[in-house]
Amino acid sequence: MKTVFVTVGTTSFDELIESITSSEGAQALKARGYERLVLQVGRGSLPAADSCPHIRMEAFQFKGSITEDIKQADLVISHAGERAGSCLETLGAGKPLLVVINDKLMNNHQLELARQLHADSHVLYCTCSTLTATLMAMDLSVLQPFLPGQPKKFANFLDKALGVR
């Protein structure tokens, strides 16, 4: 069963959860052949059980590890996060990643991180307002693997993405 895993980490990003479970979001997923939607909502609100009638939906706030959810997913949709943990875990697992920027945050380092990962062809990114259109138009075949085991290269990447250098 083709699965999408959405994670917001330890924070709250209800706008992302509402966008992906909206009628338009669910239709876009269904049109791409996804049949199962797993939501990790963090401190946010759990969606109504009937919010995605044409897709099997599961939702939880927290669990000890999301590693299995990532491994079972055909697509991961994630916030960029302050520590980028969800992004790095997804990239390390070799899964396609769509990063959704929370454009309501001040001093938003999420955008810099997503832009750099996108420029290097590792992720696709959008905002909640462009999520449905991005889902409909995305071409996951353009994504390149993020090769693990290069800590110096990754440190330089983070410095560049966050404007430290």
What pTM value is reported for the model?
A: 0.89
Given this model, what pLDDT does residue 141 score?
96
Q: Please give the pLDDT value at position 67.
A: 94
For residue 7 the two structure tokens come to: 């994670």
143 has pLDDT over 90: yes
Integer CA distances (angstroms), 82 to 17, 89, 97, 105, 153, in order:
18, 14, 17, 11, 19
Between 165 and 81, name the one with better pLDDT: 81
Segment 82-95 mean pLDDT: 82
Distance CA 154, CA 30 (A): 35
**pLDDT tens, position by position, 89-125:** 898 899 999 999 888 775 666 677 788 889 989 999 9
C-beta separation of 85 from 75 below 8 A: no
Q: What is the mean pLDDT of residues 4-31?
A: 94
Please give the pLDDT value at position 2.
Answer: 97
According to the model, what pLDDT value does residue 94 have? 93
For the chain, the average pLDDT equals 87
